[in-house]
Copies of this chain bind each other. A is one copy, B any other.
Amino acid sequence: MISISVQIEDFDVGREYRQLQAGNTEVGGIAVFTGLVRDLADNPLAAMQLEHYPGMTEASLQQTAAQATARWPLIDIRIVHRIGKLTPGEQIVFVGVSSAHRAAAFGACEFIMDVLKTSAPFWKKELHRDGRGHWVEAKDSDQQRAERWNNED
Contact = CB atoms under 8 A, between A and B. Distances in A.
A100 B35 CA distance: 9
Contacts of A32: 13, 17, 30-34
B33 A106 contact: yes
Interface string A16-42: 011001011111111111111111000
Contact residues on A (Cβ < 8 Å of other chain), bracket: 35 or more
Give how many copies assemble into the complex: 2
A133 B34 CA distance: 39
B34 A29 contact: yes
Contact of A34 (B30, B113, B145): B30
A132 interface: no
A14 interface: yes
A102 B38 contact: no
Contact of A30 (B36, B37, B100, B103): B36
Given A13-B13, A14-B13, A15-B14, A27 B33 contact: no
